[in-house]
Structure 1
């Protein structure tokens, strides 16, 4: 065998080893999820609340074809991120299956209906507010320490990827919930956005105190374009200006707050995800992404299938892959795939100060 061929084989083996090692390292990275229904993987199934996705046709395209508590026809955003980093999906923290070595995978603390503010989603009753999600995160760390020792537990938390998704409910299930709400009497929209950001900063600072060092923070999506708002407020299917403007005030303030917080910490701990633009890409040009519509929900009733809940009595589209929205508020699994693609490899207009591929190298 020629020496050049031996060198080539050796180099190939080195590359394969490096790739395998990298995948193992990424697979070993824990993943923690906090926030609302966009990222809840089933915690609300264990809570006394109406904000649940535990009945058909939710989960119709999940591998088991059964509802899981995810507000999706199949996988949700955390699931798709887990798949990309080569990890098992994070279990809901309240799941009785989250025990022993499974704690090393991470945990999902998200709860549908919550917001930045504690009075957001009051109508859903027994949901996990952010202070409660953090209390459970502390409980998780104690359990992990008992399982693997305090030093390794600290290393797992510090090395983990964290996803935080908040803000949308503070508008649609608080400020704009009724024509005149308590918060709309208290604040103008710009004042309210500044107030939300000041409260959000406290949440992120607390998350840092609890050990998080790599945190994706999603901005709000285009709230005025979801089927629920089109059904209630739109005349001809145009995105609702008041909600769109609120998101467009809130999101730049969030990016600036994250820049300031990172500067204060001396490290790029927090990464802003431009969920607004990621969603608008397929909302404004659905055909380019292979969707037949970005206005009508696959599952729902009334105008744009945007009224009420997604239930067995709802209209249900035959092919979820051709709908940008699964239910009145939540993107379909396929739409989420485009968002995840942008999270991993998006340019600086999508991900600030870096995309997830770059973040995982740190």
Structure 2
């Protein structure tokens, strides 16, 4: 399956993909490495199955938690800037409340969970403001925002215009909406994966990733990217 970063890398004209950090050795690291890690997030505790965690509900309101994330993200980005990076693509959060996992726990299995999507929008709004702040404070760098939330809204609202017929269930998974447990080893996926928005409980299909990548690279609407798309950023 082609994930979003590889889709964009192909559009940028890369002949090969940077290696994962875990496998990089020697001077290979100087050419760039992929730090992607399943369930990794802005905060260190994100995705941990064991050990101390901060309870979202017990510690913060959604607004406060979004602010905490943005503050940490800002520090992380400034640190990367200090290492020499000058072009940044900041991806907004998609509609997690419309994922099969969220729908599996919803009342009817088809209506997106507004409580989750509302929190996503709060974060995205602050992320756009962060783009403006960093572009102002670091004028020799350029930061852009990709509106994943809006792109996925198009998938959910007008699925057939993108070739999708299934928006509320994973192609591979277990339980209601194929979203209660993610795809298991050896499990047979659906045969019409290109018609699904979601591959499993959380992740988009290759078909969805390719569309997101294309719209991130060449914005199809003014809301897809801010203040410019990846193609324009690459030409600076």
Distance 1:234 1:269, change over 3 A: farther
Of the two structures, which has the highest relative contact order with CA contacts closer than 8 Å and spacing of 6 or more? 2
In structure 1, distance between residues paired with 2:46 and 2:217 = 30
In structure 2, distance between residues paired with 1:277 and 1:329 = 17
In structure 1, distance between residues paired with 2:206 and 2:26 = 28
In structure 2, distance between residues paired with 1:115 and 1:325 = 20
TM (norm. structure 2) is 0.91
In structure 2, distance between residues paired with 1:355 and 1:107 = 23
Shift of 1:193: 1.1
- Residues 104 and 177, structure 2, Cα contact 8 Å, conserved in 1: yes
Residue 249 (str. 1) matches residue 175 (str. 2): no
Equivalent residue number for residue 75 of structure 1? 2
Residue 209 (str. 1) matches residue 137 (str. 2): no
Aligned pairs for 1:1-362 within 5 A = 74-87=1-14, 88-95=16-23, 100=27, 103=29, 105-123=31-49, 182-312=55-185, 314=187, 316-346=189-219, 347-362=221-236
Shift of 1:348: 3.4
- Residues 3 and 209, structure 2, Cα contact 8 Å, conserved in 1: yes
- Residues 88 and 144, structure 2, Cα contact 8 Å, conserved in 1: yes
Distance 1:284 1:189, change over 3 A: same
Larger Rg: 1
Output one character per residue of 1:70-112: Cα deviation in whole Å (capped at 9) or x when no partner: xxxx11112111211111122111125x555x55652101111
Structure 2 unaligned segments of length 5 or more: list them.
Answer: none
In structure 2, distance between residues paired with 1:214 and 1:271 = 8
In structure 2, distance between residues paired with 1:263 and 1:237 = 42
Structure 1 unaligned segments of length 5 or more: list them.
Answer: 1-73, 126-173, 175-180
Output one character per residue of 1:111-134: Cα deviation in whole Å (capped at 9) or x when no partner: 111211112222167xxxxxxxxx
In structure 2, distance between residues paired with 1:272 and 1:124 = 33
Equivalent residue number for residue 5 of structure 1? none
SS in 2 for 1:75: coil
Structure 1 runs of 4+ aligned residues shifted over 4 Å read: 102-105
